[in-house]
Structure 1
Amino acid sequence: MMTIEINLLPWREEERARRTKRFALAMALSAVIGLGAGYGSILYLDQRLADQQQRHQLITARMTELDRDIRAVSQYEEQAASLKRQIEVFERLQVGRPQTVHVFNALVDSLEEGVYYSKLDRQGDQLRLSGLAEDNRRVSDQLRQLEASSVFDVPVLSQVESAANELRSFNLSVNQHMPVGENADGIEGTEAP
């Protein structure tokens, strides 16, 4: 019999070299694809991060504007409240002007002959009057005149003393009020038809 010997060693080495080359090529290709995918992912995430930072900057800018607007509105509200308080003061003063004139007119109208006022203090609706009278009877008459006035309540006499030149000094207090039937302007009210 005859034996044929075939040497397969070079063929195996060529096949192994081819497989090694193919494997190296596949590994290189996988590495390139992996690097490309990684680089693409990094670019995508960087773009997302840049977009997010841009949105954050926009939101921060809007919040700054809103804070500025809120401060401005708060200042406007404070100014409006201040103006409202000033208007209320002006209205009270406007209402009080005719009332003060009315009080002085009532004081003049109720003044008895021989009675002189030397001092007048006003706190709210209470008047404190100091003055001189020729005698005690005139002080009593003055108290009755004030009580009869539609502008004053019952006066309270706190002190009567003898003064120089046979005059009597007196101190009294009386509450004032707007007479019924008169409005804030001191004009008698008229009923609607």
Structure 2
Amino acid sequence: MPHINLLPWRELQRKQSQNKFVTILLLVVLVSFLSMYMLSTYYGNLRDGQNIKNSFLTTEIGHLDARIHEIRELDKKKESLQQRMRLIEDLQSSRNLGTQIMDEVAKIVPGGVYLTKLERRGSAIHVIGRSESNNRLSTMLRQVQNSYLLEKPTMQGIIAGEKSSRLLSDFNMEFYVKPFDKIGEAKQ
């Protein structure tokens, strides 16, 4: 037995090992490619799904933007209508303002005070008249201050009466009509 040759057996085993290695290597490469293909397909499907969602959201955002634009236009129309309504209400409330002023002036003028001229310029009312005493004029000033319609009374001058009518003194007074919002608050 000294002459046994083990070389062919080793060579056969080496070939088998090499075949086994190549088979495992090919199997690993095949599994790697297959897993990469499956991952690529999975992420591609996710990307396509997200693109579909994004396009849907884009179209919905476009619809909502159109609705927002319509709402803004409606808000502008609403504001315009409200402004017109406020103007109409102001006109309605000021429609009887002249008669209210005359009524209020009649209430604030005490006995012994005689008005000779009453002139309205905008919201200012200029009064010229005659008075029996200065106390009666101060009463009139207080009543203007307490009025719901009139405000800011100012006495511009008092002139003592002439020889023929010493009992009466001439006066100039000015007061203002309150703005509409203050009149509404005072009435309530």
TM range (shorter): 0.5 to 0.7
Alignment partner, residue 12 of structure 1: 10
**What is the CA deviation profile of residues 25-64 of structure 1, one whole-angstrom value per residue up to 9, with x for unaligned ones?**
2211221121011111011111112222332333344344
1:77 aligned partner: 75
CA contact (8 A) 1:156 1:174 kept: yes
Partner SS, residue 31 of structure 1: helix
After TM superposition, list the pairs within 5 Å mapping 1:119-138 onto structure 2.
Answer: 120-123=120-123, 126-128=124-126
2:56 maps to amino acid = L
Work out whether residues 122 and 128 of structure 1, in 8 Å CA contact, stay in contact via their aligned partners in 2: no
Give the match for residue 135 of structure 1.
Answer: none
AA in 2 matched with 1:121: R
The 5 A counterparts of 1:102-117 are none
Q: TM-score, normalised by structure 2?
A: 0.53
How far does the alpha carbon of each residue in 1:152-193 deviate from its partner, in whole angstroms, 9 at most, with x for none? Answer: 97x97858xxxxxxxxxx97645569xxxxxx9xxxxxxxxx
Query: Percent identical across equivalent pairs?
Result: 20
Preserved CA contact (<8 Å) 1:158 1:171: yes
Once the 2 structures are TM-superposed, how far is the Cα of residue 84 of structure 1 from its aligned partner?
Answer: 1.7
Between the aligned partners of 2:8 and 2:92, the Cα distance in structure 1 is 122
TM-score scaled by length of structure 1: 0.52
Q: Distance in 2 between matches of 1:156 and 1:80?
A: 43
Structure 1 Cα separation of the partners of residues 177 and 8 of structure 2: 133
Distance in 2 separating the partners of 1:73 and 1:29: 65
* Structural RMSD (CA): 4.5
Give the number of equivalent residue pairs: 147
1:50 partner letter: D
Partner of residue 53 from structure 1, selected from 47, 51, 54: 51
Which segments of 5 or more consecutive residues in structure 2 lack a partner in the other structure? Answer: 106-115, 132-139, 141-148, 158-170, 179-183
Equivalent residue in structure 1 for 2:91, among 93, 96, 113: 93
